[in-house]
Amino acid sequence: MDLIGIYQQDNPLSPIARIKMNMSTTTELSPEVLAKYQPVIGLEVHVQLLTETKAFCNCVNRYGGEPNTHVCPTCLGLPGALPVLNRHAVELAVLASKAIHCEIRETSIFSRKNYFYPDSPKGYQISQFDRPIAENGWIEIPAAGAVPDATGATKRIGITRLHLEEDAGKSLHDGFADSVSRTYIDLNRCGTPLVEIVSEPDLSTPDEAFEYLTRLKEILLYTGVSDCNMEEGSLRCDANVSMMLKGAVKFGTKAEVKNVNSFRYIRAALEYEIERQIEVLEGGGRVVQESRLWNNAEGRTYSMRSKEQAHDYRYFPEPDLPPLVVGEAWQREILTALPELPETRRKRMIEEYEIGQQDAMTLTSTRGFADRFETAAKEAKSPKRVVSLITSELTGRLKAANLELEQSPVTLKGIVQAADLAESGDLSSKMLKQLLDTCFAESKDFAEVYERDKPKQISDAGAIEAMIDEVIAANPKQVAQYRGGKKTVAAFFVGNAMRLSKGQANPVLLNELVTRKLDALGSAE
């Protein structure tokens, strides 16, 4: 059944289809066969920039809207209309470039990329070709197989280039009430400013590709250049993948998987594509250079069309736009908006708050949260205690309640209050846990629950002393140990007296009184 489906969907003349015909698709590739090959993966990511208006006209740059209402003669490509470059789009492109360690080209050139497609009425796309605005960057991902906590080892993935271009419109093929096959066109997206970020083929596994995309998205969100909303197409990814025998120097022929709209699907598509290509090669065939589409429902890719070469696009310099010059002074001005980047921030926070890599990841998951955390932590008696409350008490409860950090019923202000009370000894850790449980059960912030359920703490020294006396009388063996010089036994008395008080004794006072009383018994000698 599968074989027929594959034969019909693939180009029947392609070697892949012929080989697939003769191979069982149910056989798993053995680990020995998989181990012979080295996948080579490069990613092309398209990112919509968060500007008010489009790249070359004054139309609003906004997702959705009635079809064909955010358009004008320029983005419709009407004869005689001239493009004018959006300054803010350039600034965001420079910001993104710097955040991924690219070199800025002072004078870059816009080019026409010619192709005919209904969603691009001009018949070309304004893009950058041989002189893009930025090149030679990199980002770091956790090294393959390394648990982030273990060594913090990273792998550097090269970025070939970042260039500015405009988006095309959208063809709508289905979802209409009747079942007649037809296509409509919505040009609202035409002319939306994009940057395309092209990686070096430095990625070796689907997991690395996933990590790269996660890190890249995080950086783009931190810099505020895009909302990276994948459902709305603000971030789109194409993956190039080829196989070569381990130890070989020449790359194999690559296939391109187009327009996958989630990082998990990219990983799945790459896993599929790696096995498909190995099967082809093991069967004595050759991989065809082509674009392929990922079908998530079926968990496989399909041949879409043979891949265009650069010369098919007949690039030439855009005659309607002058060279783009971003001089040093303008670059400096733009860079004042560059925030501390997530990786740097994590490294600093690990030092400053003495936390592990995993905790740092939690605290920096979004720039907004990291900012609010650091502001709050600065006001707390002990920033370290705030961190430990978030990572040990809060995240566990959030996970159990299936909530994101941003949806926590206990605000950062509440956490700081709780941390301060614990720090001053006004709240035992047991009581603190109970109060947080109540906050989550009732979906209320800490301040409100604390005011209502505030434990009646015993701070009366006489009452506490009576309890300590009781514990001392009942445990002569431990008393003897203490008098013999084993001072750590004090904790035993503190713990037992606290239990007697049902957790309500003021812990600072209790500690102090236990030590005083035990010391008053004198040493054994």
**Closest separation in Å from C-beta 47 to Zn ion:** 20
Nearest CA-CA partner of 346 in 366, 319, 320, 375: 366
CA-CA-CA-CA torsion sign (249, 251, 252, 257): positive
**Closest separation in Å from C-beta 296 to Zn ion:** 33
- Give the whole-angstrom CA distance, residue 492 versus residue 15: 77
Region 306-325 residues binding Zn ion, contact defined as CB under 5 A: none
Task: Select the span of 56-64, 213-221, 305-313, 317-325 touching Zn ion (CB under 5 A).
Answer: 56-64
**Does residue 57 interact with Zn ion by CB under 5 A?**
yes
**Closest separation in Å from C-beta 60 to Zn ion:** 9
By beta-carbon proximity to Zn ion, the closer residue of 75 and 288 is 75
Task: Select the span of 67-75, 170-178, 321-329, 354-362 touching Zn ion (CB under 5 A).
Answer: 67-75
Task: Select the span of 22-30, 31-39, 72-80, 159-167 touching Zn ion (CB under 5 A).
Answer: 72-80
Encode 100-114: b = buried (16+ Cβ within 10 Å), e = exposed: bbbebbeebbbbbbe
The overall longest dimension of the chain from CA atoms, in Å, is 105
By beta-carbon proximity to Zn ion, the closer residue of 166 and 374 is 166
Nearest CA-CA partner of 327 in 22, 108, 132: 108
* Helices (H), ranges, 321-426: 328-335, 342-352, 357-363, 367-379, 383-388, 395-400, 412-424
**Does residue 513 interact with Zn ion by CB under 5 A?**
no
- List Cβ<8 Å contacts ≥24 apart for 253-256: 253/286, 253/287, 253/288, 253/289, 254/40, 254/42, 254/287, 254/289, 255/287, 255/288, 255/289, 255/290, 255/291, 255/292, 255/301, 255/307, 256/290, 256/291, 256/292, 256/307
Alpha-carbon Rg of the chain, whole angstroms?
A: 31
By beta-carbon proximity to Zn ion, the closer residue of 82 and 441 is 82
**Does residue 416 interact with Zn ion by CB under 5 A?**
no
By beta-carbon proximity to Zn ion, the closer residue of 59 and 139 is 59
By beta-carbon proximity to Zn ion, the closer residue of 86 and 428 is 86
- How many residues make up the chain in this entry? 525
By beta-carbon proximity to Zn ion, the closer residue of 165 and 343 is 165
**Closest separation in Å from C-beta 125 to Zn ion:** 15
By beta-carbon proximity to Zn ion, the closer residue of 55 and 431 is 55
Task: Select the span of 69-77, 130-138, 239-247, 407-415 touching Zn ion (CB under 5 A).
Answer: 69-77
By beta-carbon proximity to Zn ion, the closer residue of 188 and 199 is 188
**Does residue 72 interact with Zn ion by CB under 5 A?**
yes
End-to-end CA distance of the chain: 90
Place of tokens 């013999």: 484
**Closest separation in Å from C-beta 56 to Zn ion:** 8
- List Cβ<8 Å contacts ≥24 apart for 403-411: 405/362, 405/365, 405/366, 405/369, 406/366, 406/368, 406/369, 409/439, 409/440, 409/442, 409/443, 409/444, 409/445, 410/436, 410/439, 410/440, 410/445, 410/446, 411/445, 411/446
Task: Select the span of 18-26, 51-59, 132-140, 459-467 touching Zn ion (CB under 5 A).
Answer: 51-59
| Residue 403: HSE in the Cβ half-sphere, 13 Å Cα cutoff | 15
Under DSSP, the state recorded for 53 is B
Annotate each residue in 179-218 with x if it binds Zn ion (CB under 5 A) or - if it does not, as one string.
----------------------------------------
**Closest separation in Å from C-beta 52 to Zn ion:** 13
Identity at 279, one-letter amino acid code: E
- Give the whole-angstrom CA distance, residue 81 versus residue 57: 10
By beta-carbon proximity to Zn ion, the closer residue of 188 and 428 is 188
Bridge partners of 53?
Answer: 60
Size of the site for Zn ion (CB under 5 A): 5
**Closest separation in Å from C-beta 51 to Zn ion:** 13
Task: Select the span of 8-16, 75-83, 180-188, 476-484 touching Zn ion (CB under 5 A).
Answer: 75-83
Element (H, E) at 317: strand 316-317
By beta-carbon proximity to Zn ion, the closer residue of 74 and 511 is 74
Interstrand relation of 37-48 and 193-199 (parallel, antiparallel or unpaired): antiparallel
Interstrand relation of 184-186 and 193-199 (parallel, antiparallel or unpaired): unpaired
By beta-carbon proximity to Zn ion, the closer residue of 72 and 185 is 72
Contact 148, 142 (CB under 8 A): yes
**Closest separation in Å from C-beta 54 to Zn ion:** 5
Mention every residue, 6+ apart, whose C-beta is less than 8 A from residue 317.
109, 110, 111, 112
**Closest separation in Å from C-beta 57 to Zn ion:** 3
Task: Select the span of 54-62, 199-207, 219-227, 466-474 touching Zn ion (CB under 5 A).
Answer: 54-62
**Does residue 75 interact with Zn ion by CB under 5 A?**
yes
Task: Select the span of 50-58, 111-119, 214-222, 316-324 touching Zn ion (CB under 5 A).
Answer: 50-58
Task: Select the span of 41-49, 53-61, 113-121, 241-249 touching Zn ion (CB under 5 A).
Answer: 53-61
**Closest separation in Å from C-beta 191 to Zn ion:** 5
**Closest separation in Å from C-beta 225 to Zn ion:** 21
By beta-carbon proximity to Zn ion, the closer residue of 75 and 141 is 75
**Closest separation in Å from C-beta 75 to Zn ion:** 3
**What is each CA distance from 37 to 42, 245, 251, 388, in whole angstroms?**
16, 4, 11, 45
**Closest separation in Å from C-beta 59 to Zn ion:** 3
> Which residues of this chain interact with Zn ion, rule CB under 5 A?
57, 59, 72, 74-75
